[in-house]
């Protein structure tokens, strides 16, 4: 059983919970997710099964899309609705749409974030949330993330009230904390803020209509139809150049040999070699031997199927 299963993660479950349940449902240990979603977040979570676990990192590195509700007026210790309130400003507020749009424009592109204390980022070998749960604070490293688009959904001419909420569509690169983005929006507007809710609507090439719930997966497995919802591992490799190999190269690649550098690697870091459109290996420029390339990933079962 090999392939990518776009799962719709429901609220209340960790990403690891989903992996644990799928291992039981599918009867295989080779199951891995492609990027953690907090328990309070629902949405698209591609799951890699069998050989496809080798390409999980590529899906993790692809862009994500979210729909978030931003709440202006209160800040929490976790930067989302689950944490205790640490700052509050319930004065009467008034923003027009153009003010919010201006802030969103400022936060589009390459921006710097400091990961929240309640996160899985490691500092000195420990996850930040482990420090936070003991009431400890540590210096957190800044990171640069990419915000591709920020779109104000259902915009209103004027936003008024003691606590103002609005909905955003966010397209971003890997490593972005939407909770922290909510706080940054509040800072630019001049008020404490947090992320009131979040749904991941896309991960890489997968969107909500592609997904199945755990209950649906279980039903399909019991009816012998699980293969109908598995996507090929090649879906994760669309950002790489692809070369269909000729017969004389097949045995060399099958054995994982170091080979003369393919011309395409003059401009690219890696190349996917295919046989009958099935990925059989990813090769990259050799790090220490000029004009040579070495295998980065091998997909032996695809080689067998190609025979």
The domain containing residue 244 runs over which residues?
240-306
> Are residue 135 and residue 187 in the same domain, yes or no?
yes
Does the pTM exceed 0.95? no
CATH number at residue 36: 3.30.2350.10
* One domain for residues 43 and 93: no
Please check whether residues 155 and 223 belong to one and the same domain: no
Closest alpha carbon to 68 in 157, 154, 170: 170
Q: Are residues 15 and 116 in the same domain?
A: no
Can 219 be counted among the known catalytic residues? no
Which region among 66-80, 109-123, 217-231, 270-284 has the lowest average model confidence (pLDDT)?
109-123
Residues 155-187: pLDDT tens digits? 999 999 999 999 999 999 998 999 999 999 999
> Using CB atoms within 10 A of its CB, is residue 56 exposed (0-12), middle (13-18) or buried (19+)?
buried
User: Which one from 38, 80, 210, 235 is the annotated catalytic residue?
Assistant: 38
Is the domain of 93 the same as that of 180? yes
Q: Are residues 228 and 257 in the same domain?
A: no
Same domain, residue pair 51 and 145: no
3 state SS of 40: coil
Please tell me whether residues 153 and 191 are part of one structural domain.
Answer: yes
| Total domains present in the chain | 3
pLDDT digits (tens, 9 = 90+) for 250-278: 889 988 999 999 999 999 999 999 999 99
Whether 124 and 179 map to the same domain: the answer is yes
Rounded Cα distance, 92 and 33, in Å? 44
- Which pLDDT value is given to residue 270? 94
């Amino acid at each position: 059983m090999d392939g990518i299963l776009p799962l719709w993660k429901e609220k209340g479950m960790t990403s690891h919970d989903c992996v644990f349940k799928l291992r039981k449902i599918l009867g295989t240990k080779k199951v891995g997710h492609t990027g953690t979603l907090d328990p309070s977040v629902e949405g698209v979570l591609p799951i890699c099964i069998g050989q496809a676990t080798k390409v999980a990192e590529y899906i993790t590195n692809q862009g994500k899309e979210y729909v978030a509700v931003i709440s202006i007026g209160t800040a929490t210790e976790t930067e989302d609705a689950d944490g205790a309130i640490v700052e509050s400003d319930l004065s009467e507020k008034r923003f027009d749409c153009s003010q919010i749009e201006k802030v969103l424009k400022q936060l589009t592109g390459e921006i710097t974030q400091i990961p929240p204390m309640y996160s899985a980022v490691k500092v000195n070998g420990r996850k930040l949330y482990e420090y936070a749960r003991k009431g400890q604070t540590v210096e957190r490293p800044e990171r640069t993330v990419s915000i591709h688009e920020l779109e104000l959904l259902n915009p209103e001419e004027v936003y008024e009230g003691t606590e103002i909420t609005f909905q955003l569509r966010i397209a971003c690169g890997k490593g972005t904390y939407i909770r922290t983005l909510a706080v940054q929006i509040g800072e630019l507007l001049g008020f404490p803020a947090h992320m009131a809710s979040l749904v991941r609507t896309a991960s890489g090439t997968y969107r909500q209509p592609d997904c199945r719930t755990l209950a649906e997966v279980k039903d399909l497995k019991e009816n012998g139809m699980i293969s109908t919802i598995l996507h090929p591992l090649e879906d994760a490799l669309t950002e790489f150049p692809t070369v269909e190999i000729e017969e004389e190269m097949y045995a060399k690649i099958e054995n994982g040999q170091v080979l003369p550098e393919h011309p395409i690697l003059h401009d690219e870091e890696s190349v996917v070699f295919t046989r009958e459109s099935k990925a059989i290996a990813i090769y990259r420029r050799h790090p220490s031997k000029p004009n040579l390339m070495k295998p980065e990933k091998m997909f032996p079962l695809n080689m067998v199927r190609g025979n």
